[in-house]
Amino acid sequence: MKTTKKSASSPKSKSETRVEIKPTKGRPMLTWVGKKPLRHAIAYPAQHVESFNAGSKTKKTKTWEDWPKDLPQTGLLFHGDNKDVLAYLLANGLRGKVKLIYIDPPFDSGADYVRKVELREAKAIRLEGEDYTLGEQTQYTDIWTNDNYLQFMYERLMLMKELLSDNGSLWLQCDYRKDSHLRFLLDEIFGPDCYRSQIIWNSTRSKGTSVRSFGVEHQILLYYTKSGDFIWNQLFRDYDVDKIDRYYCFFEQDDGSYLRFTKSQVREFRLKNDYPSGRRFALIPLVRMLEGERKGLTYEFMGFTRTWSCKKEKMLLLQREGKIVQLNPESIPQKKQYYDEMDGIKLTSLWDDISPLNPASKEKSDYPTQKPEALLERIIELTSNFGDIVLDCFLGSGTTASAAQKLGRRWIGADINKGAIQTTIKRLQGVIQEQVEKAKNEKQKLPGMETEETAPPAQLGFAVYRVNDYDLQIQHNEAFNLAVEHLGMTRTKTDTFFDGTLGKKLVKIVPFNHPVTPLDLEEVKKELNNRPDEERDIVVVGLGKEVAVEAWLEEWNKLRKQGNIPNKIEVIELRSDPKYGGFFTHEPVKAKVSLKRTDKGVEITIDDFISPTILERLKQQNKDNPLFQPQVSNWRSMVDSVMIDSAYHGKVFNITLADVPEKKNDLVDGKYLVEAKKGATIAVKVTDMLGEELLVVGEE
């Protein structure tokens, strides 16, 4: 079992970079300012950054026959904006192949969720007449008015529908704040005839009510399907004396007699864990409620002429089997129904039997919006089969992927939050390793000792990708391949200078460790001088460009107008070129931390902190509104938490001091005093609002 960093290139390029999206069903339609149907989406390439394999490679089976040949046959975990991830999946062979999508998107709860982040103390910005703050999840910074939120969800739901198979389903979890808006969106996209149910999940335990409102104890699950032909596996809840619509419960004794107790008495037995001996049963009426005779059903039985629920032959059979009970000579016979012979109670739209996640639960991952696995297991078992593909593109702590892995499904997860990806990786590694150990133990058991069989895992590993959030420092060759795929250019391996062609133009990719400079353009000019017969135009590609590049190009174009130079030179900035979209590059967080020994202990001061990822996302989301570029004036606004270990030994980080502001408008302090032995190693862990961590280690 091993974890390896992956530096190979991403799956092969597809010719399309724009994914076409079908129109919505329409009507009823919700209208908002700036509503715009998604007609296409840019499919960015994926960068394979990590793999985990706990067993042998997945054998080629029918389960994987529908799987894209360019993707590994494992679970897939994507780090990036889910709009980019969904477009990537569509462009790489998964259109119409996902059987189940579950999402728990942000729904403007206003709660202090660490993972649905808001830049701390960020001031509101006015745009298009609407007020919003730099909102929950930094990639959602402009969505927390109704209009922008609805557009955000509208586009992503349209992409999800394209991924769903014809017999697939979508489950969307929300609360009362947005359920009506989201219901209208789903009706428009899927059609009202594809609405199946609204589930009420008793998800919390209200601490009480205010003077003028009710305590909220539930969340909502909106359940839609792609068509009228959908996967449905009927599930049953266990019988509970509190839920059975019968006043009495019976316990059959060995001699054929029975004891009768009321519901309240049985509740007392349960509390004391002291049930009477005997087989439990309930009595089910045999008389039809409808009035009037029915052919074959109206007859005399045990002195009563009634319209019964079954024919007389069946009634006599039940009597011979001892399943007819008459409590006294005056009472109408009833059917004895043993509890252990019942399937259970069919599920209804009220789910009050799945408890919220217990803080002491083994599942607990300290992720604020984590859901219990029992909830996801029920959804997965209801609306998918073994080997089916399950998708969650608001993955959070990875509960959906974990449940799917345990239930023998293939799974795909995505989240823009690095902390979510890290949490999910750790969780899935544990799940898969447990499955491997269980399989080993089962093989070692003697015949007759085997336990009840469960679905074998669809995979024993997963691959982690970045989509439009690229770490270009991993390896130049991989960064180069990403640029080639993103641009849709053709490689030219025989040319020693130019890297390929884009249409009829020659392309030169500048190394990504620096922006395009006039010196790079001088190199292109020198190469063209050596090729006097070359008349094709030139494209120079880089992550950015120096200001002096524009002056150089202007001078070059003047010479072209004089007729002496046939080649036009243009520069494509992958980060900001409007034709190719924003090629988002990942840069690690940085901090300036100082340590100073005093009489009272060690003073730790964070003088500065910067999260390039947050700043770049803020810049890109407002690239069309240069006058409204948000400014982060205080570095503390980007920091989620500060942890300190005053005796760090290099392996386990033991928290000596934790600075985690309770309210979203509170800031970390930035100055700390801890006790530490002389010569001890002190480690400071700073985490930004997207979960990116930085560990600064020093001695004092």
In three state form, how does the secondary structure of 58-112 look?
Answer: CCCCHHHCCCCCCCCCCEEEEECCHHHHHHHHHHCCCCCCEEEEEECCCCCCCCC
- Pick from 240-254, 283-297, 540-554, 558-572: least confident: 240-254
Average pLDDT over residues 581-591: 78
State both tokens at 592. Answer: 């300036």
Residue 597 to residue 593: CA distance in whole angstroms? 14
Between 420 and 518, the higher pLDDT residue: 518
Average pLDDT over residues 322-337: 90
The DSSP H or E segment spanning 507 is: strand 505-509
What are the backbone angles phi and psi of residue 408, rounded to the nearest 5°?
75, 25
Average pLDDT over residues 544-558: 89
Average pLDDT over residues 104-133: 42
Tell me: pLDDT of 524 over 90: yes
HSE-CB at 427 with a 13 A cutoff on CA atoms is 28
Tell me: pLDDT of 81 over 80: yes
Band of residue 127 on the pLDDT scale cut at 50, 70, 90: very low
Band of residue 463 on the pLDDT scale cut at 50, 70, 90: very high
Band of residue 113 on the pLDDT scale cut at 50, 70, 90: very low
**Inter-CA distances, 453 with 198, 442, 492, Å:** 33, 10, 54
Residues with Cβ within 8 Å of 512's Cβ and at least 6 positions away in sequence, in order, are: 472, 476, 479, 483, 542, 543, 585
Average pLDDT over residues 334-357: 82
Residue 588 to residue 14: CA distance in whole angstroms? 30
For the stretch 15-37, pLDDT in tens is: 446 788 888 877 778 888 888 88
Band of residue 414 on the pLDDT scale cut at 50, 70, 90: very high
Band of residue 447 on the pLDDT scale cut at 50, 70, 90: low
HSE-CB at 595 with a 13 A cutoff on CA atoms is 21
Residue 237 to residue 342: CA distance in whole angstroms? 11
Rounded to two decimals, the pTM is 0.70
Average pLDDT over residues 246-253: 79
Between 551 and 9, the higher pLDDT residue: 551
- Pick from 299-308, 437-446, 641-650: least confident: 437-446
CA angle, 109 then 110 then 112, to 5°: 110
Band of residue 56 on the pLDDT scale cut at 50, 70, 90: low
Band of residue 123 on the pLDDT scale cut at 50, 70, 90: very low
Residue 428 to residue 463: CA distance in whole angstroms? 11
Q: What's the mean per-residue pLDDT of the chain?
A: 81
Between 238 and 378, the higher pLDDT residue: 378
- Pick from 45-59, 107-121, 423-437, 534-548: least confident: 107-121
Q: Are 468 and 10 in contact (CB under 8 A)?
A: no
State both tokens at 97. Answer: 């192949």
Between 110 and 573, the higher pLDDT residue: 573
- List the one residue out of 218, 109, 222, 116 whose CA is nearest residue 173: 222
**DSSP, residue by residue, 608-643:** EEE-HHHHHHHHHHTTT-GGG------GGGGEEEEE
Tell me: pLDDT of 377 over 70: yes
For the stretch 151-202, pLDDT in tens is: 889 999 999 999 999 999 999 999 888 889 999 999 999 999 999 999 999 8
Band of residue 209 on the pLDDT scale cut at 50, 70, 90: low
Band of residue 633 on the pLDDT scale cut at 50, 70, 90: confident
Average pLDDT over residues 263-268: 78
Whether residue 532 has a cis bond before it, omega within 30° of 0:
no
- Pick from 67-71, 118-122, 297-301, 629-633: least confident: 118-122
- Name the β-bridge partners of 134: none
pLDDT of 9 reads 42
Between 12 and 271, the higher pLDDT residue: 271
Band of residue 290 on the pLDDT scale cut at 50, 70, 90: low
**Largest CA-CA distance found in the chain, in angstroms, rounded:** 116
Residue 661 to residue 77: CA distance in whole angstroms? 30
HSE-CB at 256 with a 13 A cutoff on CA atoms is 5
Q: Are 120 and 664 in contact (CB under 8 A)?
A: yes
DSSP-derived letter for residue 203 is -
Average pLDDT over residues 621-641: 69
Q: Identify the three-state secondary structure at position 566.
A: coil
**DSSP, residue by residue, 262-296:** EHHHHHHHHHHT-PPSSEEEEEEE-B-SS-S--TT
CA angle, 346 then 350 then 356, to 5°: 110
Residue 420 to residue 367: CA distance in whole angstroms? 8
The amino acid that residue 184 corresponds to is F
Q: Strands 130-132 and 125-127, how do they pair? A: antiparallel
CA dihedral over 165, 166, 169, 172, signed as positive or negative = positive
Q: Are 614 and 119 in contact (CB under 8 A)?
A: yes
Tell me: pLDDT of 608 over 50: yes
pLDDT of 206 reads 57
Between 1 and 354, the higher pLDDT residue: 354
